[in-house]
Structures are given as structure tokens and as C-alpha cells.
Amino acid sequence: MRSPTFLFFLTAVTMTLAQSGAKQIVPVANGDLPFSAAVKAGGLVYVAGTLGTDAKGVLSGDIKAQTKQTLDNINAALQKAGSSLANAASAIVYLKSQSDFAAMNEVYRTYWPKDPPTRTTVVASLVRDEALIEISMVAVPDGGERVVVHPSDWLQSPNPYSYGIRTGNTLFLSGLVSRNGKDNSVVAGDMSTQTKTVLDNGAAILKAAGMSYGDVVSSRVFITDVAKFQDMNAAYRPYFPASPPARATVRAGLMGADYLVEITMLAVKDASRRAVTDAAPAAPPAANAPAPPPLSPAIRVGNRLYVSGMLGNTAETKANAKAQTAETLSRIGRTLKAGGFEWTDVVDGVVYLTDMSYYNDMNTAYKSVIPKDFPARATVGVGLVAPEGLVEIMVTAVK
């Protein structure tokens, strides 16, 4: 089985830019694949999860060779969409092994001698066994504004990423861990302490951009231990007392043994920001159940809708990845409708699978809902917070 990510790069040089409504799509050559190589919409370019492949498949080389090829492939897609790596605002790097982090950075930093994009780096399973790295990205089109945001009293990051990149009213933040920005020292502590440190750091970056937590519309939380999920929530909740951002939380390895949590966020300064609720009634909570996680099903701001990571695990879908995907997509569809959007407006997404053997079943259900004009998409293997959850999907829509 060849993944959509894999085949995208076999045909990168033959891509053409297609128009679909308000979206401009860089399609893959194989029309059976349920994702687009890149989608340009709403003043941004969304690039799908990308592997280090050439015409023969995944490179047989080491992490350095695959990192170079991956970034070259992304640049080819961006150029088709009227952008380039120089305009990159945000990247998420999925590594098969944490031990490749330093070597990946060595190559990665050569692509941005200064002002690199924001970045989040975690460990995940990939769709091809021989792949060592996958990168998804969001970039600004050529001619668009791209401003580095950096707290005035912080040191530069020791790794090749900027803490914040702003374009217009939109701010991308790097994945933040429990580190002191003023001296780059690790702030040790339990999940609660580290979550507070991460969010205090986020507040400093937001402030430097003239924003606050009231402007955050979406976040992705990576924790190393699902048993500490409620500890993270308890520390996270006070930062978002009303209309918390859309959010997905999964278990993944981080780039340092000292770190228990990494959080990446996106903020938009716009008075139109509002929470969107799934139209379906919520089931009553069980006795003594923990408080629901501090997230909104979706946040609408301007012409964009940021939808939380959603699952479809029910008594009827237990142990069935295809059925869980169908239920997840049904829930997302209701949320899109409640926000005034349709599936045709979805431009970007990430699919989290607990086991990559579910990949084909997930795709079958996915294509039944999105038959054409696919959003950009990354699909990776991580742990989910829900004990019986097999699939979690998070999307972004743009009118």
C-alpha cells in the first residue's frame, strides 16, 4: 500500500494548480488519493504531511537525506501554490525516532539562515515504515506579510524555529515546552507545573504580538502520559475562562526526556471570534465524572472555522476504525454546519490513528464524505486520550 503522502512526492514535479470555488488546490496526480498536496485559501497556503520521497519512493538514506528531500518536496508544492519555504509560517515535524532530532535540525536550519518558521516537533508513527520524517506546513503566499514575533527579554531559541510568526491578524506560535525563555533553562516539575510554564510562555509571545489568550482560536496539546490528562486540563483551564479554543490532545514522544507536555497555538485578533457548538445535544455526564475538557467544538473567526479534534468511539463503533471514522466525520459535519460551513470549505486537517493498520479503513470512510477537492492532510500514529478511541480528526475550514 502506498500512502497519499508517499505518492504526492512521486509526482510533485507534474502538479498543476486547480481552482475549486474559493480554494486553489495543488492536486496529486492519482485522483484516488483523499488529500491535496497543498491548498491555498484565505490568505494562507496549507501543505499536506510530506515525506522524503523521490520518483523511486522513500529515500533509502538517513534522516539528513530524508529531511532535505522532504523540504525540497514541500518547496515544490509551495511554488505551485504561489509561495515558497521563505514564506513558511508554521511547521509540524513528525519524527519516527527522537534520536534523529539533532541530525534533522542540522539540515533543517540550512533552509532558513534567519527567521525560520514556528515549529512543533514530536514523535509519531508514519504511513511508510521506511520513512523517518514527515512535515506539514502553513505558509504565506508571495507578497504576504510575515513578521517574526519574539519577546524582547528572551534569548533566541537554541533550535531552528521562531517563537511566533504573524501575518496580518493571525499569529502562529511554536510548540512550547517547559523552558525559561530568558535563559533557555529547563523548568522542571510535574504536569501541572509544566503546563503553567508553557502557557505563561505563550502569554509572553501573545503579548509581544499585541494579543492575549482571548485571541487564541486553536491549540494542539501533546502529552507523554495519558494518565496526566486531567492534571494538564486543570492547569490549562484557568487560561481560558470563556470560549476556550478548539483543541486536540494526543499522546506523543517529545524532544527531551524532561518534558511532559508541548502545546502549539494559533491566535487571530478579530472581534468576530465566537465559539461554535455541535447542534446535537450532549449526553448527561456520569456521576463523579471529571469536568469536560476546556475546549470549544469549534471557533469561528472571520472567514475561518477551527474545529477541535473529534472522535467517534461509541458502544456501536467499538474496535471498528472505519465506523469510528464515519461517526467522527458525522460529528465534524454537524459542527461545520453549525458554524455556517460545509465540507467543501475544509482546507486542512490532521488524522491521528492509534495504529497505522487502520489507515485503509479510515480512508474508505473519509472518501465517502469528501469525494473530491480534498483538503491538505497529515496522517500520523499517536496515542489518543479516549481509551477506546482509534481515530481522531481535526480540521480547518475557510470560506
pLDDT digits (tens, 9 = 90+) for 209-230: 999 999 999 999 999 999 999 9
Per-residue pLDDT at 8 exceeds 60: no
Q: What is the pLDDT of residue 290?
A: 76
Q: What is the pLDDT of residue 18?
A: 55
Which residues lie below 8 Å from residue 251, measured CB to CB, with a gap of 6+?
222, 223, 224, 225, 226, 382, 383, 384, 385
Per-residue pLDDT at 357 exceeds 60: yes
Question: What value does the mean pLDDT of the chain take?
Answer: 93
95 alpha-carbon distance from chain centroid: 14
pTM value is 0.94
**64-76 pLDDT, tens per residue?**
999 999 999 999 9
Per-residue pLDDT at 164 exceeds 90: yes
**33-85 pLDDT, tens per residue?**
799 999 999 999 999 999 999 888 899 889 999 999 999 999 999 999 999 99
Residue 101's H or E segment, with its range, is helix 101-108
- Which domains can be identified in the chain, with CATH numbers? 1-142 (3.30.1330.40), 145-269 (3.30.1330.40), 296-399 (3.30.1330.40)
Q: What is the pLDDT of residue 282?
A: 52
Q: Which residue has the higher pLDDT, 11 or 346?
A: 346
- Grid cell 469510528 — which residue? 324
Which residues lie below 8 Å from residue 86, measured CB to CB, with a gap of 6+?
112
